[in-house]
Amino acid sequence: MAVVSAGTVVLSGQVCRPGWLEISGRRIANCGAGEPPAPVDAAFPDSVVVPGFIDMHVHGGGGASYTSADGIAAAAGFHRRHGTTTTLASLVTAGPSELIAGVRALAEATRHGVVAGIHLEGPWLSPGRCGAHDPSLMRDPDPAEIDALLALGDGTIRMVTLAPERPGSEWAIRRFLDAGVVVAVGHTDATYEHACRALDMGATVGTHLFNAMPPLHHRDPGPALALLQDQRVTVELIADGVHVHPAVVRAVIEGAGPERVALVTDAIAAAGCDDGAFRLGTVAIDVASGVARVRGTSTIAGSTATMDALFRQVAAPGLDAALAAAVRMTSATPARALGLSAVGELRAGYDANFVVLDRELRVTAVMAGGEWV
């Protein structure tokens, strides 16, 4: 047993000043507000302890990418040091053989606990809203390919992003849902009606809301309004100050509520690196002043953000409501959206995943599965 105390601990969504955690093995054995009932092994009197971050949309970081077998541990380790203790590794649009190789490597990494599962962001997307994906590799859902990927993944594919207007998408939505895979709407030119149909069929996530989809228009609302108004839907937001204006981020959080908003990094290998040249799948990327763009264009290509930076964007030191909302959007909401158990909150019986933040909400320590990172 080990007891950890802090000046502020967010327990089960409640801000406690002070609070404590009792760790046994990889789990939280007990926790509570006030002074701890036993001698303390690690004290953080001037710090804030929050649940480990959960990133449900991330492609890489620290110079490494989830598209290569040798980069998976490095990318996951980089983000873990920034507080992300649970990672859903995202694969970009790729050809059939490359997609198979990516799923095979990530399925193995999932079984070893390096990542929590796979997010297939493509290839069943709209070329008209390709973003930093290679439009020449996008294709309609094919039953044989999808069945092969699901068999290879063997339960490790947790989420799929698709464009519901593509031929075959309705079959694909049903097939993925039958396999227990969360279906997200994104990189889409769908009409409002198309999007509503996908949601009624069981899609429950909006991939990086507003990005790679038609803008909201008063006579042609498109998928954004469908995603926002459906209470069953969790919307991803890349709150890095680049992808979505901060005022829009605040409006979405206030309107949908933090229980329906999941902050995601959509980070690529360039996260944590100096400006320069990178790749996202087959697409060449240039990073200047920390902003990634498809080479030779103005198209944003993922982000260079980490979850702790996004946390600071929406939280405010000393303001309990803002702190609790930030915690929900970086932990409990993504955990619920993905159907993950025993993570996303600090409570007895849950995994001992937490982040220690200083007065400026910067990471000073991380525990993952009962081990200090």
H or E element in which residue 105 lies: helix 96-111
How many residues in the chain? 373
CATH code of the region 53-314? 3.20.20.140
- Residue-level pLDDT at 199: 98
**108 vs 102: CA distance, rounded Å:** 10
For residue 1, give Cα distances in angstroms to 40, 43, 342: 10, 15, 19
- Candidates 2.30.40.10, 2.10.70.10, 3.40.50.10440, 3.40.50.150; CATH matching 2-51+344-372: 2.30.40.10
pLDDT at 350 over 80: yes
pLDDT at 317 over 80: no
Q: Please indicate, yes or no, whether the overall pTM of this predicted structure exceeds 0.85.
A: yes
The answer to whether the annotation marks 243 as part of a ligand binding site is yes
The answer to whether the annotation marks 300 as part of a ligand binding site is yes
**166 vs 310: CA distance, rounded Å:** 33
- Residue-level pLDDT at 316: 80
pLDDT at 20 over 90: yes
The answer to whether the annotation marks 245 as part of a ligand binding site is no
- Residue-level pLDDT at 133: 96
Give, in degrees to the nearest 5, the angle at Cα 184 between 335 and 148. Answer: 100
- Residue-level pLDDT at 69: 82
Over residues 115-142, mean pLDDT:
97
Catalytic annotation present for 55 = no
The answer to whether the annotation marks 79 as part of a ligand binding site is no
Query: What are the pLDDT digits (tens) for 153-198?
Result: 999 999 999 999 999 999 999 999 999 999 999 999 999 999 999 9
DSSP string, 171-210: HHHHHHHHTT-EEEE-S----HHHHHHHHHHT--EETTTT
Write out the two tokens for 366.
Answer: 């991380």
Catalytic residue among 266, 274, 286, 308: 266
The answer to whether the annotation marks 208 as part of a ligand binding site is yes
Over residues 271-282, mean pLDDT:
95
The answer to whether the annotation marks 132 as part of a ligand binding site is yes
Query: What are the pLDDT digits (tens) for 123-133?
Result: 999 999 999 99
In the chain, residues under CATH classification 2.30.40.10 are 2-51+344-372
Over residues 313-342, mean pLDDT:
94
The residues that bridge with 368 in the sheet, in sequence order, are 371
User: Which amino acid, residue 277?
Assistant: A
Task: Compute how many other C-beta atoms are within 10 angstroms of the C-beta atom of residue 77.
Answer: 14
The answer to whether the annotation marks 302 as part of a ligand binding site is yes
Task: Name the average pLDDT for the chain.
Answer: 97
- Residue-level pLDDT at 318: 74
H or E element in which residue 237 lies: strand 234-237
DSSP string, 127-161: GGG-TTS-GGG-----HHHHHHHHHHHTT-EEEEE
Task: Determine what percent of the chain is predicted with pLDDT higher than 70.
Answer: 100
In eight-state DSSP terms, residue 267 is: B
The answer to whether the annotation marks 148 as part of a ligand binding site is no
- Residue-level pLDDT at 356: 98
- Residue-level pLDDT at 319: 87
In the chain, residues under CATH classification 3.20.20.140 are 53-314
Query: What are the pLDDT digits (tens) for 21-73?
Result: 999 999 999 999 999 999 999 999 999 999 999 999 999 999 999 988 889 99
